[in-house]
């Protein structure tokens, strides 16, 4: 049996037979030139955060229209983030929460995403008709997925089965080691790479990872990371904290604050216990420093990380913070200790040093740039590295002052103008690091898209090998990233 309970343990209503069919009429209803429909799939909190600026930019577009699909993996956290950004979810797949087994989740998302596509758009039109149906806003032009979750991988595979082109945001992250770490994300992202025909890579290193796996360079576009776009938006809101104790800490400029988050599946068990031990020792050693630990809803995380730290007066265990409050806390804190992926990109853009509690990271550029220090889960290593930063101002300044390689806050804009160019021939976007080849993507996405591109624009021009060459030159000369 599938456990469809969400991250608050509530059992959602199963979708009724025709639930998915209801909302199509709200799109393309005003009689204007129809927009091209692009379902954007979101399962977890980090996906919601990083897709948020892309969805907002698509809403602003005159050419493409997002259909927001929430798989239900982190239902409440996703809804909370979307509410803050006034994004309505069109479709809920209710595919179950973290305690569902991976196979259950993957099969449920695939089946329900497939049902949604069929109920909204019907079976894939014939090769002769598909271009017209896409242009009329009756069949999806592409499906947009993000990152490396089971939701993203399952939706991508279901879209592929219906021969709908898949575009991948945050493509090309690799730890360079085993497919078991991070588990199951490292494999998910590699599977999505095989399926997608348009890869939005945050950095040039991500592009190189993809090229190393034989992804044609003409199908990759370097954009910067959309998480930085989201953080800029969120940190500007100065959202008040629901928890009064956190608010009091943040409001008192004399308090030093360390933010700790840990929840990765590969750290469950021994890893989380070691992390709790390391953070506990630090809290005992630095009594004047306050450790704020937003606990992931997963019950194992709560028990293995939360319980051992609960008795210390300078450790504040909280519920997960709303994203915009968390962004504010990141801006206010002194140090971040985490096993999270997204936070490794976010905190350095607010000049906060990050200790990464993993053995390897797919954010190698941050380690190279000096914004991230890889400490693993050994308690002594966590204690020693954090103690150095908390007591040696020069060591602190060196890490806090390093330049964040993850973006300039305009990734979503680039992604949407790349989509517009690809799908409609509108003028190409200015690349962050590398251009892409429109004709190649059309061909890789299937005959129907190539026919469609010819029909829309009568033009098969490429986005410019020149842009890519320029970027390589800039990269070599040290003037890229900007």
In the complex, the smallest distance separating the C-beta of residue 343 from ligand UDP, rounded to whole angstroms, is: 5
Backbone angles phi, psi at 66, to 5 degrees: -80, 140
Catalytic residue selected from 146, 263, 328, 332 = 263
Assess 320 for contact with ligand UDP (CB under 6 A): yes
The one catalytic residue among 168, 290, 296, 358: 296
Stretch that binds ligand UDP, among 14-22, 89-97, 315-323, 355-363 (CB under 6 A): 315-323
Instruction: Tell me, yes or no, if 76 is annotated catalytic.
Output: no
CB of 297 or CB of 435, closer to ligand UDP: 297
Of the two residues 271 and 342, which places its CB atom closer to ligand UDP in the complex?
Answer: 342
Please say if 14 is a catalytic residue.
no
The one catalytic residue in 185, 339, 362, 383 is 185
Tell me whether residue 296 is one of the annotated catalytic residues.
yes
Please identify which residue in 121, 286, 291, 323 interacts with ligand UDP, judged by CB under 6 A: 323
Between 323 and 436, CB nearer to ligand UDP: 323
Q: Is 172 exposed, middle or buried (0-12, 13-18, 19+ CB in 10 A)?
A: buried
CB of 309 to ligand UDP, least distance (A): 15
In whole angstroms, the minimum distance from the beta carbon of 281 to ligand UDP comes to: 23
* Contact track, ligand UDP, 372-401, x by CB under 6 A: ------------------------------
Enumerate residues 325-344 that contact ligand UDP by CB under 6 A.
326, 340-343
**Options 4-12, 121-129, 239-247, 317-325: segment touching ligand UDP (CB under 6 A):** 317-325
Residues near ligand UDP (CB under 6 A), total: 15
SS (H, E, C) the chain: CCCCCCCCCCCCCCCCCCHHHHHHHHCCCCCCCCCEEEEEEECCHHHHHHHHHHHHHHHHCCCEEEEEEECCCCHHHHHHHHHHCCCCCCEECCCCCCCCCHHHHHHHHHHHHHHHHHHHHCCCCCHHHHHHHHHCCCCCCCEEEECCCHHHHHHHHHHHHCCCCEEEECCCCCCCCCCCCCCCHHHHHHHHHHHCCEEEECCHHHHHHHHHCCCCHHHEEECCCHHHHHHHHHHCCCCCCCCHHHHHHHHCCCCEEEEEECCCHHHCCHHHHHHHHHHHHHHHHCCCEEEEEECCCCHHHHHHHHHHHCCCCCEEEECCCCHHHHHHHHHHCCEEEECCCHHHHHHHHCCCCEEECCCCCCCHHHHHHCCEEECCCCHHHHHHHHHHHHHCHHHHHHHHCCCCCCCCCCHHHHHHHHHHHHHHCCCCCCCCCECCCHHHHHHHCCHHHHHHHHHHHCCCCCCCHHHHHHHHHHHHHCCCCC
Nearest distance in Å: CB 34, ligand UDP: 34
In angstroms, what is the minimal distance from the CB of 296 to ligand UDP? Answer: 7
C-beta atoms surrounding 127 within 10 Å: 12
Distance CA 475, CA 482 (A): 9
First to last CA, the chain: 51
Near ligand UDP in 32-51, by CB under 6 A: 45-46, 49
- Give the nearest distance from C-beta 160 to ligand UDP in angstroms: 23
Q: How far is the CB of 364 from ligand UDP (least distance, A)?
A: 16
CB of residue 468 to ligand UDP, shortest distance in Å: 29
Residue number with CB closer to ligand UDP (46 or 353): 46
Catalytic residue among 6, 65, 84, 148: 148
The catalytically annotated residue of 170, 304, 322, 413 is 170
Beta-strand relationship, 256-261 and 289-294:
parallel
Q: By CB under 6 A, tell whether 261 contacts ligand UDP.
A: yes
Supply angle C-alpha 165, 170, 175, rounded to 5.
120
Q: How far is the CB of 80 from ligand UDP (least distance, A)?
A: 9
Among 55, 91, 321, 354, interactor with ligand UDP by CB under 6 A: 321
- Cβ atoms of 170 and 153 closer than 8 Å: no
170 as an active site residue: the answer is yes
Question: Which of residues 84, 346, 383, 468 is near ligand UDP by CB under 6 A?
Answer: 346
Among 5-13, 61-69, 316-324, 434-442, which window interacts with ligand UDP (CB under 6 A)?
316-324
Q: Nearer Cβ to ligand UDP, position 224 or 342? A: 342
Using the contact rule CB under 6 A, the part of the chain among 150-158, 319-327, 374-382, 384-392 near ligand UDP is: 319-327
Minimum CB separation from ligand UDP for residue 252, in Å?
A: 20
The reply to whether 104 belongs to the active site is: no
- C-alpha distances out from residue 422 to 9, 137, 417, 432, Å: 42, 16, 8, 17
> Does 140 engage in binding with ligand UDP (CB under 6 A)?
no
Nearer to ligand UDP, 272 or 444 (CB): 272
Find, among 127, 140, 143, the residue nearest to 198 by Cα: 143
- Contact set for ligand UDP, span 217-256 (CB under 6 A): 227
315: which strand partners? 291
Of 167 and 246, nearer to ligand UDP (C-beta) is 246
Residues forming contacts to ligand UDP in the complex (CB under 6 A) are 45-46, 49, 227, 261, 294, 320-321, 323, 326, 340-343, 346
Show which residues are catalytic.
148, 170, 185, 263, 265, 296
């Amino acid at each position: 049996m599938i456990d469809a309970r969400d991250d608050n343990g509530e059992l959602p209503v199963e979708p009724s037979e025709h639930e998915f069919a209801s909302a199509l009429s709200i799109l393309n209803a005003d009689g204007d030139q129809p927009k091209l429909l692009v379902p954007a799939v979101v399962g977890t909190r980090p996906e919601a955060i990083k897709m948020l600026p892309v969805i907002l930019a698509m809403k602003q577009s005159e050419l493409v229209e997002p259909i927001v699909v929430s798989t239900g993996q982190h239902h409440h956290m996703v809804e909370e983030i979307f509410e803050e950004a006034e994004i309505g979810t069109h479709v809920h797949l209710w595919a179950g929460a973290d305690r569902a087994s991976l196979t259950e989740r993957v099969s449920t998302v695939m089946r329900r995403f497939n049902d949604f596509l069929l109920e909204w758009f019907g079976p894939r039109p014939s090769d002769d008709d598909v271009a017209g149906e896409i242009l009329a806003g009756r069949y999806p032009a592409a499906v947009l997925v993000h990152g490396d979750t089971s939701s993203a991988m399952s939706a991508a595979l279901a879209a592929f089965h219906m021969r709908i082109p898949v575009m991948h945001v945050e493509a090309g992250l690799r730890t360079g080691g085993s497919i078991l770490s991070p588990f199951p994300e490292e494999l998910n992202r590699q599977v999505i790479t095989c399926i997608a025909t348009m890869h939005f890579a945050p950095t040039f290193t991500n592009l190189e990872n993809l090229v190393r796996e034989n992804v044609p360079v003409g199908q990759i576009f370097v954009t910067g990371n959309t998480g930085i776009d989201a953080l800029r938006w969120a940190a500007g809101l100065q959202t008040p904290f629901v928890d009064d104790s956190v608010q009091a800490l943040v409001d008192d400029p004399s308090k030093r604050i360390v933010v700790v988050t840990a929840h990765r599946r590969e750290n469950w068990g021994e890893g989380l216990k070691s992390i709790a031990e390391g953070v506990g020792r630090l809290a005992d050693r630095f009594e004047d420093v306050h450790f704020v630990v937003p606990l992931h809803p997963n019950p194992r995380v709560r028990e293995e990380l939360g319980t051992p730290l609960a008795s210390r007066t300078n450790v504040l265990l909280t519920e997960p913070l709303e994203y915009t409050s968390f962004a504010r806390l990141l801006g206010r804190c002194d140090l971040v200790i985490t096993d999270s992926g997204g936070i490794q990109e976010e905190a350095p853009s607010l000049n906060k040093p990050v200790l990464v509690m993993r053995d390897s990271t797919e954010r190698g550029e941050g380690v190279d740039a000096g914004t991230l220090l890889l400490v693993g889960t050994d308690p002594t290593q966590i204690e020693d590295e954090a103690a150095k930063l908390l007591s040696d101002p020069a060591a602190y300044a060196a890490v806090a002052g390093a330049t964040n390689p993850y973006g300039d806050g305009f990734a979503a804009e680039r992604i949407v103008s790349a989509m517009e160019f690809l799908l409609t021939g509108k003028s190409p976007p200015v690349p962050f690091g590398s251009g892409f080849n429109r004709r190649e993507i059309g061909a890789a996405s299937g005959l129907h898209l190539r026919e469609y591109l010819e029909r829309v624009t009568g033009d098969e021009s490429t986005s410019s090998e020149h842009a890519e060459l320029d970027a390589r030159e800039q990269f070599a000369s040290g003037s890229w990233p900007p």
